[in-house]
Amino acid sequence: MAGIGFELRKLLRKDTLLGLIRAYTYAGVISSGPWVLSIIGILIIGIFSLGAVVPDIAVSQFQVTVTYLIATSLVLTGTVQLAFTRFCADRAFEQREDLVLPNYGGVTLLVTVISGVLSLLVALFLFPEQSILFRVLLAASFVVLCNIWIATVFLSGMKQYKAILTLYGLGYGITVVGALLLRFLDLEGLLLGFLLGQVTLLAGMLVLIVRGYPARSMVSFQMFSPRYLYPSLMLVGLFYNAGVWADKAMFWFYSGTGSDVIGPLRASLIYDVPVFLSYLSLIPGMAVFLVRMETDFVEYYSNFYDAVREGGSLSYIEDMRNQMVFVIRQGIFQILKIQAISALLIMVAGAQIFAALGITDLYLPLLKVQLVATALQVVFLAIINVFCYLDQRRMLVLLTGLFFVLNVFFTAISLYLGPQFFGFGFLLSLAVCVMLGLWLVNRKMGELEYSTFMLH
């Protein structure tokens, strides 16, 4: 409950409208800041490079390349993100923090080797027409991004949100400046500027990690021993990240919706722009999610398990359980309410935004579908977070695995049925998983005392 939880409770304790606004603004910036900064940074580079980079197609090639780098690095590192976070949290609970830094070194070493080999093979064999400099920058950027996701998850798990946001601001500031200064090198210059910013971001994170944790050695693979490894959490991270990107990739590579950009990389103007605009609506919902999870829910969750460990009365334990259920219900209701408002605002401005981007209004229905899907994604994240706190790993594997499979299945059907059904694959997969997840949460909370006392 350290870090952002204390800060949010301090702001909410003032019991004023200004304090409430500041708390939710703070939570929104912290929860969505890194993602927003990265997207805005790439857009700024594209906007200011048009006309200055010859040919103009190099700008699109840069943006698509970075999108693929981010997507594939997230999916690859998703297999260790949650498992490593759980390892760090368990060691902190055991007051054995001397094991954290060496195992971080082991995880990053393994990720670096695997991502390095894969990216070199891709750069060598899938981009034969590109320059050697481009291929070197592609491989290096992929390795650095993989390491950034591990460091980000690590610092997030340790509640160092402010530090993450500050470093992302610095890193993407350098990315923008570097890319604009080096744009005379065309595509390679833009990618070099991106790499410089990411290296700066990673270096700052490494300094924080090394300074924050004591260690007798720098590299250990203890986390991968059967005693500490959680294969179920590895599957959860893989399924969730693959599920999020599955529909995008299918639209990129489907002949009727995607087009070649650079090498084997493709993009889908039909799908990508509405998806991007819909994700801007995530910010207020993520703010509500973070405030609820890091204040009320965590407080009652801690009180519940403290009472269990210390022999609290049954009536008090039941009261804390009931408060947790109330917070979950209120949090989900507030997420849906704030996401509805955010979605309506973007829907109203959607036609003007599409006109400014030179996109036909025919894609507005897809934007509306994606806005609803985005709202459900925030609720899905809240459900996943609740099950993470309750250590229900089988439930997490079931939900995230189902999300991935359904997204692929429903998206394939939508592509077959035609444009009027585009986007419904992502929406329906989330709708099914959210409904199932809510039912499972309600069922689990109803038997929480039994499972806590009898099964453990």
Q: How far is CA 177 from the centre of its chain?
A: 25
pTM above 0.85, yes or no: yes
Q: pLDDT digit of tens for each residue in the chain (456 aa)?
A: 344 454 555 555 555 555 555 555 555 555 555 566 666 666 666 666 555 554 568 888 888 999 899 899 999 999 998 898 888 888 877 888 778 888 999 999 999 999 999 999 999 999 988 999 999 999 999 999 999 988 887 776 666 667 777 788 888 888 888 888 888 888 899 899 999 999 999 999 888 888 877 777 788 898 899 888 899 999 999 999 999 999 999 999 999 899 999 999 999 888 887 888 787 777 777 777 777 666 677 778 888 888 887 777 888 888 888 888 888 888 888 888 888 888 888 888 877 877 776 667 777 888 889 999 988 998 898 899 888 888 889 999 999 999 999 999 999 999 999 988 999 999 999 999 999 999 999 888 877 776 666 555
> Which DSSP string do the residues of 332-369 spell out, in sequence order?
HHHHHHHHHHHHHHHHHHHHHHHHHHT--GGGHHHHHH
HEC secondary structure over 273-311: HHHHHHHHCHHHHHHHHHHHHHHHHHHHHHHHHHHHHHC
Instruction: Report CA-CA distances (Å) from 71 to 78, 181, 215, 244, 388.
Output: 11, 26, 32, 9, 23
Phi-psi region of 55 (alpha: psi -120 to 50; beta: other; left: phi over 0): beta
Backbone angles phi, psi at 117, to 5 degrees: -65, -45
Instruction: Report CA-CA distances (Å) from 80 to 156, 213, 218, 223.
Output: 14, 20, 19, 10
- Other C-beta atoms within 10 Å of 278: how many? 26
Cα(371)–Cα(109) distance, integer angstroms: 39
Residues, the chain, total? 456
3-state secondary structure of 243: helix
3-state secondary structure of 127: coil
> Which DSSP string do the residues of 251-265 spell out, in sequence order?
HHHSTTT-EEEETTE
**Nearest CA to 243 among 451, 406, 34?**
406
Backbone angles phi, psi at 215, to 5 degrees: -160, 145
Q: Report whether 127 contacts 138 (CB < 8 A).
A: yes
| Upper half-sphere CA count for residue 431 (Cβ side, 13 Å) | 12
At how many degrees (to 10) do helices 231-253 and 393-417 cross? 10
